[in-house]
């Protein structure tokens, strides 16, 4: 067997999807891929065809042009593929671009494909890049399967095994290992991985990860210094800009935040999410020209994106309302509600409509809609982000709907006693309503109730009275039905009761509902996934 054939063998185990809008180039690239050893090459001529194919079949390699004519571009396709788990850590994604400008290079790297190729592409170049990537990714196949199943412990175990065996994909496995530690809320272990990587050199992803560790520990000065260093020394690493911008916002450094995001969008102007962040930051500082330009750009970029992005709609709607044109605001939020079907998007659209109705002078309609909105936002049976509810309360305050805002803030505070960042936000809102002391008292009472419930539960479990422990946590769950920690503590004790006393369809249903609600509140939560797996294993055992 000659070297060419031997080298090409790794590609024969992977199906390839080629996405290219020009027929002649599509044919040429398909031929190159087949000569490089690809077993099968499917082709798509635009984002729509590629979306259908990616959703229906798993591909080991995706080779995609950045520019795909009308519709979504290659970056938006990659975003959607990752969002919907059509691809995983073991998939090779090659982005192609014909332009060598810094903006296009940044755009091609925006969603971190495995590599990008500049046209014209030669056979030797393609083969060399593909073989290296396929070999590196092969080590990640098992990890990818475990991560797709949200079996974080199994994925972490496989990472450890790969590292112990001397994997050739060490950097990528270390990165996944650290991210898994973060998912599992094992921050000291994540910190150790990032620090070990940084001892070998200034790796940007490790710097970003270590900054996230500092943020988790509330060490904001060290996090900010590290992020600023990352942006300075790795100016093309755009994720660091995003993390630093969020930190600056949280610390009230709006002027620096706007300047940083302006730098980021100059480097890569085709991120709708980052343009939206710039619009929000600029509007908060009343820099309306900057905000309007950023929101307009974001609206255009979201047209073909599968990722929900309500910010440009809400931002532009607010600007129209404040400029005395609430009719245009109504049109924008109606378009947003039509495009995005998520519960949070629908609620945020209604909140902006309250502002527009108030500005129109229709106070009765505004009050009626605000009351409906609070009932929907505080609905204990439906999933919904606490950040969204807090934001709706803030909008209601601005729309002079103080009573409705108060009821919603009480709901958010009671259910998020353990979220310091969110509590700071709700406390500021209470103070705007002249209710600062009441907000503080509510937090104290919720913390006391949850803490006492946990202490009593642990004591009763130690005494062997698991049923009494369960009842105590059930009361806390009824009082704080949107708190993930309370829900998962209840589920953990419920599982112990089931194991000790046998099957109970009612309790199993309660446990499943608690875990499902917790997962809706905190998608990807490791403890929720582990409890779900334990329950499934237990119920699968013979009675």
Spatial separation of the C-alpha atoms in residues 93 and 59, rounded to whole Å? 10
Locate 63 and state its tokens: 């080779």
Report yes or no: 436 and 413 within 8 Å, Cβ to Cβ.
Answer: no
| Domain range annotation of the chain | 3-138, 464-540
**pLDDT at residue 134, rounded to an integer:** 82
Upper half-sphere CA count for residue 463 (Cβ side, 13 Å): 10
Spatial separation of the C-alpha atoms in residues 182 and 5, rounded to whole Å? 42
Q: What is the CATH number of domain 464-540?
A: 1.25.40
**pLDDT at residue 479, rounded to an integer:** 84
**pLDDT at residue 264, rounded to an integer:** 92
3-state helix, strand, coil in the chain (%, to 5): 70, 5, 25
Q: Which helix (H) or strand (E) element contains residue 517? A: helix 505-521
3-138: CATH topology is Rossmann fold (3.40.50)
Instruction: Please count the other Cβ atoms lying within 10 Å of the Cβ belonging to residue 462.
Output: 9
Counting as low any pLDDT under 70, the low residues of the chain are 1-11, 99-114, 379-384, 543
**Alpha-carbon distance values, 48 to 25, 44, 71, 344 (Å):** 18, 8, 8, 26
**pLDDT at residue 188, rounded to an integer:** 96
List, in order, residues 6 or more apart from 413 with CB less than 8 Å away. 423, 426, 439, 442, 443, 446
**pLDDT at residue 513, rounded to an integer:** 92
**pLDDT at residue 100, rounded to an integer:** 59
Spatial separation of the C-alpha atoms in residues 320 and 328, rounded to whole Å? 6
Sign of the C-alpha dihedral computed for residues 463, 465, 469 and 472 taken in this order:
negative
């Amino acid at each position: 067997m000659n070297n060419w054939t031997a080298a090409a063998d790794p590609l024969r185990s992977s199906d390839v999807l080629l996405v290219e809008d020009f027929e002649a180039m599509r044919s040429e690239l398909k031929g190159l891929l087949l000569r490089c050893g690809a077993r099968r090459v499917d082709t798509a001529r635009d984002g729509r065809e590629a979306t259908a194919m990616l959703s229906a079949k798993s591909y080991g390699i995706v080779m995609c042009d950045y520019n795909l004519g009308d519709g979504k571009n290659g970056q938006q396709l990659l975003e959607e593929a990752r969002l919907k788990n059509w691809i995983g850590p073991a998939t090779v994604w090659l982005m192609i671009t014909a332009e060598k400008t810094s903006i296009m290079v940044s755009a091609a790297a925006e969603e971190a494909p495995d590599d990008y190729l500049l046209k014209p592409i030669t056979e030797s170049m393609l083969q060399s890049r593909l073989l290296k990537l396929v070999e590196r990714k092969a080590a990640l196949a098992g990890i990818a399967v475990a991560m797709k199943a949200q079996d974080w412990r199994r994925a972490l175990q496989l990472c450890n095994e790969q590292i112990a065996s001397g994997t050739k994909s060490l950097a990528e496995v270390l990165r996944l290992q650290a991210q898994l530690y973060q998912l599992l809320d094992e921050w000291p272990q994540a910190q150790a991985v990032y620090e070990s990587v940084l001892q070998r050199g200034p790796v940007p992803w490790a710097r970003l990860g270590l900054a996230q560790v500092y943020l988790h520990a509330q060490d904001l000065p060290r996090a900010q210094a590290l992020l600023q260093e990352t942006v300075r020394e790795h100016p093309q690493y755009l994720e660091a800009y995003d993390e630093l911008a969020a930190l600056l916002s949280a610390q009230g450094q709006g002027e620096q935040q706007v300047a940083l995001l302006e730098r980021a969008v100059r480097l890569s102007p085709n991120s709708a999410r980052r343009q939206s962040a710039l619009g929000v930051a600029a509007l908060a500082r009343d820099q309306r020209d900057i905000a309007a330009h950023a929101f307009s750009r974001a609206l255009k970029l979201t047209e073909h994106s599968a990722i929900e992005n309500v910010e440009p709609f809400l931002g532009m709607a607010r600007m129209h309302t404040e400029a005395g044109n609430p009719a245009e605001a109504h049109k924008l939020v109606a378009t947003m509600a039509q495009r995005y079907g998520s519960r949070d998007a629908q609620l945020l659209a209604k909140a902006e409509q309250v502002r527009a109705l108030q500005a129109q002078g229709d106070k009765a309609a505004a009050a009626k809609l605000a009351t409906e909105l609070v009932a929907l936002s505080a609905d204990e049976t439906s999933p919904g982000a606490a950040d969204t509810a807090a934001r709706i309360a803030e909008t209601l305050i601005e729309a002079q709907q103080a009573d409705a805002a108060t009821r919603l803030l009480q709901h958010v505070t009671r259910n998020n006693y353990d979220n310091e960042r969110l509590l700071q936000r709700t406390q500021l809102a209470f103070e705007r309503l002249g209710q600062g002391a009441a907000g503080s008292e509510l937090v104290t009472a919720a913390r006391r109730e949850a803490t006492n419930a946990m202490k009593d539960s642990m004591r009763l479990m130690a005494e062997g009275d698991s049923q009494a422990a369960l009842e105590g946590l059930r009361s806390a769950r009824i009082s704080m039905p949107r708190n993930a920690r309370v829900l998962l503590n209840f589920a953990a004790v419920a599982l112990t009761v089931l194991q000790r006393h046998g099957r109970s369809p009612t309790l199993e249903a309660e446990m499943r509902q608690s875990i499902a609600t917790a997962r809706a509140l905190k998608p990807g939560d490791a403890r929720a996934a582990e409890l779900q797996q334990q329950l499934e294993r237990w119920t699968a055992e013979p009675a």
